[in-house]
Structure 1
Amino acid sequence: MARPEQFALIFDRHAAAIRAYCARRVGGSAAEDLVAEVFLTAFEQRARFDPARAVAPWLFGIATNLLHRLHRQEQRGLRALARTGRDPVVEGVAERAAERVDAVRFSRELAAALGAMPAPERDVLLLFAWANLGYAEIADALSIPVGTVRSRLSRGRTRLRAALPSNSGPNPLTEKDTP
């Protein structure tokens, strides 16, 4: 991946997934800047990339590390969502509206629970639920053992179950099939 033209293929394959993950974490306008920073960082570090490693977890790891820099902004956004109950990702996405109805019903509680959750648990939970990464990919992205991913995901789910109303319907963050 040392050649820049090879990197363009990586951008084409993974930019949408990285953008979607970042948008869920920091909102649409900040996500565009974050995606640009993710790929700039990856491009600058491309010579150090281990070709035996999968590209997607590497990029999600960079994104998560950059998100830590934006932690205060993320916390403010989650607090605002907890206050208003309006998820900016849901607004204007008519084709997924039916799928999201249950999530909207408990979005305030979800935002509050995510905002109160320790960052390591939240990172694992959101990489699993929003980026659709498996345990090994999350471990690779965060440079932690798979067992740590499993325990953080379990603790995060437990916190969410305790924080969310029991009649809120199916919750993909806590009831999604595990890989």
Structure 2
Amino acid sequence: MTVEDEQAIAESLRLPERFGVLYDRYFPEIHRYVAGRLGTQAADDLTAEIFLAAFHGRAGFDSGRGVVRGWLYGIATNVVAQHRRSELRRLQAMQRAPEGTLTGEQTEDGHEDLVAGRLAAAGVKDDLVAALQAMPDADRDVLLLLALADLSYQEIGQALDIPSGTVGSRLNRIRRKLRAALGGVNPLLGDSRG
């Protein structure tokens, strides 16, 4: 799909409707990633904003720097960063929520609530929320691109404009910090990808 994606961008410079191919192909997974970060209601608007930004910036796409999918995730991460204050408020609200209110069922608010419910049962929710809040924004972006979008190290590197080796070292550091914060429990990151 890489060549097809690049061709669609090139053709869309003359025929804007050709960009629709990329929208149709990547909208569901970009929406899923944003919904996991900010909830489905925010994802509806923000995913449209992401594709609008990609459409307006399509002439600047450089295939030498990576594939279209990674480029779109980079735009998505930047849009999510603009809404980071809201994300931190959601984490604070989750931390204040009584244990009985998190059922573990995925709600309209997204993947965070599902994870929070599972962690509450394991008794590590408060520690995880505190660790996520204390985490530098760049580390949180790497973690959530891996955990929610299931991107490879190379794709995460492209999305964040950092070398894939840096992604690996950040994830190793994040894993150590999360394990320490959770008393040796590692509920989210059991695998190692490259």
TM-score for both structures, normalised by structure 2? 0.78
Cα distance change on mapping 1:100 and 1:111 into 2, 3 Å: closer
What RMSD over aligned residues (CA atoms) do the two structures have, in Å?
2.7
Letter in 2 for 1:27: G
> 3-state SS of the aligned residue for 1:141?
helix
Structure 1 equivalent of residue 148 of structure 2? 130
Which residue pairs with 2:132 in the alignment?
A: 114
Aligned counterpart, 2:67? 54
Check whether the contact 2:103–2:117 (CA below 8 A) recurs between aligned residues: no
Greater Rg by CA:
2
- CA deviation after TM superposition for structure 1 residue 20, in Å: 1.1
What percent of counterpart residues are identical? 43
Q: Which residue of 2 aligns with 1:143?
A: 161
Structure 2: give runs of 5+ residues left out of the alignment.
Answer: 1-8, 109-113
Change (3 A) 1:56 1:28: same
Q: What's 1:163 paired with? A: 181
Equivalent residue pairs, number: 172
1:91 partner amino acid:
T
The answer to whether the Cα contact below 8 Å between 2:104 and 2:116 also exists between their aligned partners in 1 is no
Q: CA deviation at 1:112?
A: 2.5
Distance 1:118 1:88, change over 3 A: farther
* CA-CA distance at 1:50 after TM superposition: 2.1
- Conserved 8 A contact 2:104-2:117: no
Matching of residue 90 in structure 1 with residue 106 in structure 2: yes
8 Å CA contact retained: 1:125, 1:157? no
SS across alignment from 1:171: coil
- Counterparts of 2:116 and 2:134, CA distance in 1: 23
Q: Distance in 1 between matches of 2:84 and 2:115?
A: 28
Deviations 1:24-48 (A, max 9, x none): 1112211111111100100001111
Partners of 1:35 and 1:119 in 2: CA distance: 20
Q: In structure 2, which of residues 38, 45, 48 is the aligned counterpart of residue 26 of structure 1?
A: 38
Would you say 1:11 and 2:23 are equivalent positions? yes
For 1:18 and 1:89, locate their aligned partners in 2 and report how far apart those are by CA, in whole Å: 22
The answer to whether the 8 A contact 1:18-1:60 is kept is: yes
Give structure 1 stretches of 5+ with no counterpart.
93-97
Q: CA deviation at 1:177?
A: 3.5
- Partner of 1:9: helix, strand, or coil? helix
2:116 & 2:68 partners in 1: Cα distance? 30
Q: Aligned residue for 1:81?
A: 94
Distance in 1 separating the partners of 2:174 and 2:142: 8
Q: Is the 8 A contact 1:82 1:109 kept in 2?
A: no
Give the AA of the match of 2:40: G
